[in-house]
Amino acid sequence: MEIGDALSAIQLKIAEAKKDGGILAGDGQLIAVSKTRPVEDVEAALEAGQRLFGENRVQEAEAKFPGLRPRYPDLKLHLIGPLQSNKAKEAVALFDVIETIDRPKIAAAIAKEMAAQGRQPGLFVQVNTGEEPQKAGVLPGELGEFLTLCCKTHGLTISGLMCIPPVDEAPAPHFEFLRQLAEKYKLPKLSMGMSADYETAVQMGADYVRVGTAIFGARG
Ligand SMILES: *Cc1c(COP(=O)(O)O)cnc(C)c1O
């Protein structure tokens, strides 16, 4: 399927999911995840009207996006992959939202760079809802303490939560858990749902869904 056609089809499904979800449904803004894709694919999506993109590596995003900004000033870019503190400077300079704050060291590095650059990207905390040892994200039981550290120690405003459920489990309970955590800590935004489950995520409150394969095809 052409990128533009895939985008329209997904937007229709998101609109339906919002209706189905009723009062529980989220905004369902579509983040086109363009990691590993050539800049030509990003341009095709831009020409089709897509403006919100996600990348999981700082360096890859730096190679693709700055050149597009002058032509598409309303383009928005989210960092959805793990961040190393030695890349905090580049991340703060380039991204509009950083969804993967998950360690004290990262919170400190981001705060320092925001002050140095006078830039205020939106910030989400990634939660490891499945408590998987290999996965990034704050453990649910440590979220309260981490949010306090971000806010009180570093003066950061965290506006949402993000999760990647375990691949071998039904995602819905994880989406519901993330929604409850966001409610508990009074965080307005939720980033959850990917190609296989974005409709469920929207029904359950996702304000942002991160979709790659369903837009651009299988990654090589
Ligand atoms: C790659 C990626 C996605 C998109 O995955 P698809 O299955 O291709 O839609 C979403 N979120 C994160 C964090 C990713 O790394």
Query: d(Cα 191, Cα 194) in Å, to the nearest integer?
Result: 10
Query: d(Cα 203, Cα 195) in Å, to the nearest integer?
Result: 14
User: 127: CA distance to ligand 1 center in Å?
Assistant: 15
**How confident is the model at residue 162, as a pLDDT?**
98
**How confident is the model at residue 150, as a pLDDT?**
98
Of ligand 1's atoms, which has the minimum distance to the CA of residue 214?
9
User: Does residue 212's CB lie within 6 angstroms of at least one atom of ligand 1?
Assistant: yes
Distance between terminal CA atoms of the chain?
16
**How confident is the model at residue 111, as a pLDDT?**
98
Q: pLDDT by residue for the chain (220 residues), tens digit each?
A: 799 999 999 999 999 999 999 999 999 999 999 999 999 999 999 999 999 999 999 999 999 999 999 999 999 999 999 999 999 999 999 999 999 999 999 999 999 999 999 999 999 999 999 999 999 999 999 999 999 999 999 999 999 999 999 999 999 999 999 999 999 999 999 999 999 999 999 999 999 999 999 999 998 7
Of ligand 1's atoms, which has the minimum distance to the CA of residue 162?
13
Domains of the chain: 3-216 (3.20.20.10)
**What are the φ/ψ torsions at residue 4 (nearest 5 degrees)?**
-65, -40
* Residue at 43: amino acid letter: E
* C-alpha to C-alpha distances, 19 to 26, 27, 54, 131, 174, nearest whole angstrom: 10, 11, 25, 32, 21
**How confident is the model at residue 136, as a pLDDT?**
97
DSSP codes of every residue in 46-100:
HHTT--EEEES-HHHHHHHSTTTTTT-TT-EEEE-S---GGGHHHHHHH-SEEEE
**How confident is the model at residue 219, as a pLDDT?**
84
User: Does residue 57's CB lie within 6 angstroms of at least one atom of ligand 1?
Assistant: no
User: 15: CA distance to ligand 1 center in Å?
Assistant: 20
User: Does residue 80's CB lie within 6 angstroms of at least one atom of ligand 1?
Assistant: yes
Query: d(Cα 191, Cα 201) in Å, to the nearest integer?
Result: 9
**How confident is the model at residue 132, as a pLDDT?**
98
Q: Specify the 3-state DSSP secondary structure of 1.
A: coil
The DSSP code for 24 is G
Residue in the block written with tokens 């960092």: 79
Of ligand 1's atoms, which has the minimum distance to the CA of residue 198?
9
* C-alpha to C-alpha distances, 99 to 19, 38, 67, 95, 111, nearest whole angstrom: 26, 22, 23, 10, 14
User: Does residue 33's CB lie within 6 angstroms of at least one atom of ligand 1?
Assistant: yes
Contact 166, 132 (CB under 8 A): yes
Burial of residue 59, with CB atoms counted within 10 A of its CB: 0-12 exposed, 13-18 middle, 19 or more buried: exposed
Query: d(Cα 29, Cα 7) in Å, to the nearest integer?
Result: 12
User: Does residue 6's CB lie within 6 angstroms of at least one atom of ligand 1?
Assistant: no
Q: Which two tokens stand for residue 22?
A: 């009723």
User: 77: CA distance to ligand 1 center in Å?
Assistant: 14
User: Does residue 42's CB lie within 6 angstroms of at least one atom of ligand 1?
Assistant: no
The C-alpha R_g of the chain, in whole angstroms, comes to 17
